[in-house]
Amino acid sequence: MKNSKIYKYLISIRFAMSLLAVIAVLCVIDTVFHVNLIRSPLMYVLGTVFALSLIVCTVSRVQWAAAKSKKKFQLYAWGSPILHVGLIVVLLGGIISFLVGRQTYYEIPVGETAQVAGRSGTLEMKIDDFRVEYYEDGVTPRQYYTDLTLTKRDGESASLNAFVNGPARYDGLTIIQQSYGWSFLVTLSTPYNSRSFDLKAEEWIPLEDGEDPVRLGVSFYPDYDEDAGVPDTTSDRADNPRLLWVLTKGEEALDMNVLKEGEEADLYNGIRLTFDGYRYYTGLQAKYDPGVKVIFAGFFLVFAGLVIRYAFVMKQEIEEEKGKRETEKKKGRK
């Protein structure tokens, strides 16, 4: 094996560095010319060959360090092997993430629940509250908070808080605050029946069957600007919440108006629209990824190895310089 041509390539520093150079050039081309090279098969092939070369080189470095430490343990000799083992650990972590890691994005209105998969199985995630904290100007957001409760199958539960840069952690899950918005509730009713809708942003609901039905458009304005000529919101805060409804047929707008919370509007043919209420929804990323810890452990090894490797070089140089100065001093005395 050791005499094979492939092994000789894999263990050669020049080969490994050439591979790295090609990978770097592909990264540059990818970002500068917007060609998707980073996730191309070519990159996967290069990455795999590089990983093999890294493993072979690391084994040889470990053997070298072990030989150096045979008589007496030599810490400096282990810097480079530790660094390279760290890189392999990072790659391993990446493989674990790829194989078992999972990530799901949820948009859940306050008070509602969703099912998330944790280490122990499926958990129920209930959104207790969502808040936006503003700076003194009242406009610039300072922080977004979600209060949530996670309940395991066996009934064990935890009340947690997630904010930007402060994820909630439970049962191997990391829950990250990523987005938010307004969700609003409307009811459409006729004398015979009624139907409720829980909506986000602008929605269009056909009120008739057929090719060109009368459609109802509804959208929510948390801080409705009464003075603007067109529907607009002054801020993102619910200071003047209004539901805007529009009735259209084809390109033609038949009717439109705004409603306060709890108000009703007669649309047509006995169909009534009620604006039942509004609430925040929170956008959360729930991530279960045991690979991340492995990757971070790899980072630690890379950094530790690097420091050991070069602290020694520096120490050696400082000592050499000291020695030189002392010799010069002695010469001077003579």
Partner 1 sequence: MVTIVETVSYYGFLVTIMGAAAYLLQTWLKRDWLPKIGLLLNAAGALLMLVAVIGRTRQVGRLPLNSVYEYLLVLSFAVLVAAFAIALKWKPYLVVGVMLAVAAVLIGVSFGKTDLGGPLLPALQSNWRVSHVLTAIISYTAFAVAFGVGVVYLIIIPGKTPEEVPAEKKERAVFLEKLMFNSVVVGFIFLTLLIITGAVWAEEAWGSWWTWDPKETWALVTWIIYAIYLHLRLRPAWRGKKGCYLSILGFVAVLFTLLGVTYIFGGLHSYG
Neighbours of 201 (CB within 10 A): 11
d(CA 79, CA 67) in angstroms, rounded, equals 14
Q: How far is the CB of 211 from partner 1 (least distance, A)?
A: 43
- Residue 263 or residue 317: which is nearer to partner 1 going by CB? 317
d(CA 62, CA 193) in angstroms, rounded, equals 76
Q: Which of 24, 45, 66, 100 is the binder for partner 1 (CB under 8 A)?
A: 24
Q: How far is the CB of 300 from partner 1 (least distance, A)?
A: 8
- Residue 84 or residue 242: which is nearer to partner 1 going by CB? 84
CB 173 within 8 A of CB 116: yes
Number of residues that bind partner 1 (CB under 8 A): 43
Q: Which of 3, 4, 165, 193 is the binder for partner 1 (CB under 8 A)?
A: 165
SS3 label, residue 279:
strand
15 binds partner 1 (CB under 8 A): no
Question: What residues form DSSP beta bridges with 187?
Answer: 196, 274
Span interacting with partner 1, options 172-180, 184-192, 246-254, 271-279, rule CB under 8 A: 172-180
52 binds partner 1 (CB under 8 A): no
Q: How far is the CB of 312 from partner 1 (least distance, A)?
A: 11
287 binds partner 1 (CB under 8 A): yes
Neighbours of 133 (CB within 10 A): 10
Per CB under 8 A, contacts with partner 1 among 179-218 are: none
299 binds partner 1 (CB under 8 A): yes
d(CA 252, CA 217) in angstroms, rounded, equals 12
What type of residue is 237? Answer: R
- Residue 102 or residue 153: which is nearer to partner 1 going by CB? 102
81 binds partner 1 (CB under 8 A): no
Q: Which residue has the tokens 């084809």?
A: 250
12 binds partner 1 (CB under 8 A): no
- Residue 73 or residue 303: which is nearer to partner 1 going by CB? 303
d(CA 207, CA 156) in angstroms, rounded, equals 45
Q: Which of 111, 166, 250, 270 is the binder for partner 1 (CB under 8 A)?
A: 166
27 binds partner 1 (CB under 8 A): yes
- Residue 256 or residue 307: which is nearer to partner 1 going by CB? 307
Q: Which residue has the tokens 């050696």?
A: 316
Q: Which of 4, 5, 72, 140 is the binder for partner 1 (CB under 8 A)?
A: 140
d(CA 199, CA 201) in angstroms, rounded, equals 7
Burial class (CB in 10 A: 0-12, 13-18, 19+), 284: buried
Q: How far is the CB of 231 from partner 1 (least distance, A)?
A: 28
Which residues, 6+ apart, have CB-to-CB distance to 243 below 8 Å? 184, 186, 218, 219, 220, 221, 258, 259, 261, 275, 278
Span interacting with partner 1, options 107-115, 119-127, 162-170, 189-197, rule CB under 8 A: 162-170
What number of residues does the chain have?
334
CB 252 within 8 A of CB 217: no
For residue 203, what are the CA distances in angstroms to 211, 218, 245? 19, 6, 10
Q: In the complex, which residues of this chain contact partner 1 (CB under 8 A)?
A: 13, 16-17, 20-21, 23-24, 27-28, 30-31, 38-39, 103, 135, 137, 140-144, 163-167, 174, 176, 178, 285, 287, 292, 295-296, 299, 302-303, 306-307, 310, 313-314, 317
